[in-house]
Chain A
Amino acid sequence: MNQFDWTIGVTGLNATDNPGPGISVIRSLRAHPGFKGKIIGLTYHYMDPGLYASDLIDSAYLIPLPSEGIQSLRQRLEYIKKRTDLSLLIPTLDSEISGFISLEPELRGIGIRLFLPTQQQFDIRSKVHLAEVCEKANLDFPRTRIVSDIESLCQVSMEIPFPYMLKGIFYGATLVNTMDEASMAFHRTTAQWGLPVIIQEFLIGEEYDVLAVGDGEGGIVGGLPMKKTSLTEKGKGWAGVVVKDPKFLAMAETFCRMTKWRGPFEMEVLKTKEERYFLLEINPRFPAWTYLCVGAGQNLPVAVAQLAMGMEPAPLPEFKAGTMFVRISLEQVVKIDRLEEIISKGEIHYR
């Protein structure tokens, strides 16, 4: 059994009812029998629940928001590197990936490794460009338009019949039934995530997600498809089951072959009753349900850590269809001095 003692930084500790993937990634790393390293939680807000998961993280640091620019992030990471000997980083939030891609050469220079796509690969899979990729790869994709102003929104509403999905550039999707609803959703979404918004044909079918890791050379290191079996009011998966349908993984393989994707990604697919598979989105990171891959036999976060450190991961076994997850919410009991520590010092140390 390979042992590894790296100090690994993980972001996305916002384990709320719309959870960030960080905790799931950390649990996966810790689940590996060879893991002897340390986990550093990196987070943007002192109330992110993962900060207080003392059984999962060794230390945690507040980091500057992406809006503060990559140089302040670089300075903060240099500081953390000095304090912790951080050897690799797994960013897990859409909005921060681009900044980490830009910083990768500098971080490598100070001994912090990442395993991320190139900026070009990152842009290709964005909601704005994904339709082009699908067309080239011969993958089904819902009719999509990119909209930056209300006038265009009205125009598009004549082309794509109601109801349709209005999506933010990074997050958020609203089903709109009328022009009034579309206009409200447009303003709400752009206020939160900026321009443009994505208008997408509404299709009826069952939602599946695929988690896979691209090796950066056109292949995939591993991957598994999952069907959401229970959703929250926000439409987030609260339970799911690993499925066997080979078409899902074939879609992920096609995407990696086309783009030479490097790193983890989550593919959202809608399967219609007519057995058509529509690619809805590609998220450039681990999903919040990542820990399911460990239960299904493929520890993909460990594979990413190994790739980041220049190691070739051992071939992963076939995933076990029928493995399911059901999320739980629980209360963490925290001493008030922990809150003081993070607010006053911007860091917490458990071990």
Chain B
Amino acid sequence: MDTALLNRLKDIAISDSGFIFDPYSGATFNTNETGRFILQLLKEGNGIDAIQSEIRKHFKTSEEDLRSDIYEFINLLMEAQLLPKSFQC
């Protein structure tokens, strides 16, 4: 993950309740516990494999849907302009 993107992600504020504030655009969002967990891992610079493995450790999930669910959430973050369209992990 490049430094500019990592800094941008680090600036995103997430509260314990899942309230997200993007200080660049001023936009606010809500997410659930899993979403908050994934965003936190992205902020720390983790890629998809690490995220998948961390989720397995912390949540009960069905293995077959996990990867696609993470990508779906990443797409939502792109839609919300919290991640650039070009983002890959």
Contact = CB atoms under 8 A, between A and B. Distances in A.
A245 B21 contact: no
A308 B23 CA distance: 33
Contacts of A241: 26
Contacts of B25: 206, 227, 243, 245, 271
Contacts of A195: none
The B contact surface, by secondary structure, is: loop
Contacts of B72: none
Sorting the interface of chain B by its residue count into under 10, 10 to 19, 20 to 34 or 35 or more gives: under 10
B6 to A, nearest CB: 15
A322 interface: yes
A241 to B, nearest CB: 5
B24 A244 contact: yes
Contacts of A244: 11, 23-24
Contacts of A243: 23-26
A322 B15 CA distance: 13
A321 interface: yes
A245 B24 contact: yes
A226 B26 CA distance: 8
B50 interface: no
A229 B26 CA distance: 8
Interface string B1-39: 000000000010100000001011110000000000000
Interface in B71-85: none
Contacts of B21: 322
A213 B1 CA distance: 37
A231 to B, nearest CB: 14
Interface in A242-285: 242-245, 271
Contacts of A322: 13, 21, 23
Contacts of B23: 243-244, 321-322
Contacts of B24: 243-245
Contacts of A242: 26
A271 B25 CA distance: 9
Contacts of B26: 208, 226-227, 229, 240-243
Nearest to A228: B26
A220 to B, nearest CB: 20
Nearest to A321: B23
Contacts of A227: 25-26
A204 to B, nearest CB: 15
Contacts of B11: 244, 321
A145 to B, nearest CB: 31
B18 to A, nearest CB: 16
Interface in A163-191: none
A243 B21 CA distance: 10
Contacts of A321: 11, 23
B73 to A, nearest CB: 21
A245 B7 CA distance: 12
Contacts of A206: 25
Given A227-B26, A321-B23, 4 more contacts: A229-B26, A240-B26, A243-B26, A244-B23
Interface of A: 206, 208, 226-227, 229, 240-245, 271, 321-322
Q: Which 10 A-B pairs have the closest CB atoms?
A: A227-B26, A321-B23, A244-B23, A243-B26, A245-B24, A241-B26, A244-B24, A322-B21, A322-B23, A243-B23
15 contacts: A206-B25, A226-B26, A227-B25, A227-B26, A240-B26, A241-B26, A243-B24, A243-B25, A243-B26, A244-B11, A244-B23, A271-B25, A321-B11, A322-B13, A322-B23
